[in-house]
């Protein structure tokens, strides 16, 4: 049985006013895999990620051409509800951004937005999300204390729990481990491998090593262009394009 293509990106171009950030991207992501998008700084990795849940809509002057299909539906279709889309595709940013409220309220924020108000239901959702993010054991006794008191690694897992509370289908993670110590990084990478069973994950790794540890397939983005994509092992040991080989071997960075 072939894995379904969860997300298909067809000839996608993206512009900030007159500056072209992404050029003719053709890419597909399969269900329940971890796909890494790697490349040097300012290649458009974050732009590509944010295009997937249309967070780029918030930026004035943003334009695009081409299509992005989620389960076959174009996410830029006017009929597509933005709120629905963003609940199906959740995003974690590079800096953990806990909202200035309690741990419980942080995780419950999303569900409350979509209309869940019953206290009992919220408690179930919060517990399940925190368990999936491997944070429950550490915080279950202090759910109503401020989220700002958590450590960096815990805060990042809180951010993951926040999206999981909405039961999304796809997770977008933009360098989720930057600024975290190696132990927290390891625990998050482990969490991601576990989450793969239930979610499709697209990750911008902090470095190539992280991609090779965690991802199944990867794509190399250079100056807005997708140079090549393929299974992680192949990308890093036998890259087809010279540019990929140069980057992977450290000739530029």
Q: Is 227 in the site for other proteins (CB under 8 A)?
A: no
- Mask: binding to other proteins, 107-136, rule CB under 8 A, as x and -? --xx-xxx----------------------
Q: Is 145 in the site for other proteins (CB under 8 A)?
A: no
* Backbone torsions φ then ψ of 93, nearest 5 degrees: -90, 170
What is the chain's Cα-based Rg? Answer: 18
Q: How many residues bind other proteins (CB under 8 A)?
A: 26
Distance CA 211, CA 180 (A): 16
Q: Is 65 in the site for other proteins (CB under 8 A)?
A: no
Which two structure tokens, joined as six digits, stand for 33?
């895999």
* Backbone torsions φ then ψ of 199, nearest 5 degrees: -130, 160
Among 12, 14, 38, 93, binds other proteins (CB under 8 A): 93
Which two structure tokens, joined as six digits, stand for 75?
């996410």
> Cβ closer to other proteins: 37 or 222?
37
Among 7, 29, 62, 91, binds other proteins (CB under 8 A): 91
Which two structure tokens, joined as six digits, stand for 191?
């969490």
Least distance between other proteins and beta carbon 109 (Å)? 6
Distance CA 150, CA 167 (A): 23
Q: Is 194 in the site for other proteins (CB under 8 A)?
A: no
Give how far Cα 9 sits from Cα of 49, 113, 195, 219, Å. 11, 29, 23, 12
Least distance between other proteins and beta carbon 163 (Å)? 7
Cβ proximity of 252 and 51 under 8 Å = no
Q: Is 209 in the site for other proteins (CB under 8 A)?
A: no
> Cβ closer to other proteins: 18 or 83?
83
Least distance between other proteins and beta carbon 152 (Å)? 15
Q: Is 87 in the site for other proteins (CB under 8 A)?
A: yes
Tokens 């990867």, residue?
218
Among 18, 60, 182, 250, binds other proteins (CB under 8 A): 60
Tokens 């360098």, residue?
175
Distance CA 16, CA 91 (A): 21
* Interacting residues toward other proteins by CB under 8 A: 53, 55, 58, 60, 81-84, 86-87, 90-91, 93, 95, 97, 99-100, 109-110, 112-114, 159, 162-163, 166
């Amino acid at each position: 049985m072939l894995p379904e293509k969860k997300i298909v990106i067809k000839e996608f171009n993206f512009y900030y006013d007159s500056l072209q950030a992404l050029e003719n991207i053709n890419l597909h992501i399969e269900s329940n895999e971890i796909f890494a998008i790697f490349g040097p700084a300012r290649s458009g990795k974050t732009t590509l990620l944010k295009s997937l849940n249309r967070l780029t809509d918030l930026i004035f002057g943003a334009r695009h051409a081409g299509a992005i299909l989620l389960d076959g539906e174009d996410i830029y279709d006017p009929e597509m509800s933005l709120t629905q889309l963003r609940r199906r595709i959740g995003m974690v940013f590079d800096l953990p951004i806990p909202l200035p409220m309690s741990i419980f309220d942080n995780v419950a924020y999303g569900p409350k937005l979509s209309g869940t108000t019953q206290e009992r239901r919220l408690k179930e959702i919060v517990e399940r999300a925190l368990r999936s993010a491997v944070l429950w054991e550490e915080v279950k006794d202090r759910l109503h204390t401020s989220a700002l008191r958590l450590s960096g690694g815990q805060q990042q897992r809180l951010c993951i729990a926040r999206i999981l509370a909405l039961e999304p289908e796809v997770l977008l993670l933009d360098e989720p481990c930057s600024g975290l110590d190696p132990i927290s990084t390891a625990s998050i990478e482990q969490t991601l491998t576990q989450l793969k069973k239930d979610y499709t994950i697209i990750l911008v790794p902090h470095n190539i090593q992280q991609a090779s540890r965690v991802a199944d397939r990867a794509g190399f983005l250079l100056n807005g262009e997708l140079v090549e994509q393929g299974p992680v092992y192949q990308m890093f040991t036998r890259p087809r394009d010279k540019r990929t080989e140069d980057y992977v071997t450290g000739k530029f960075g």
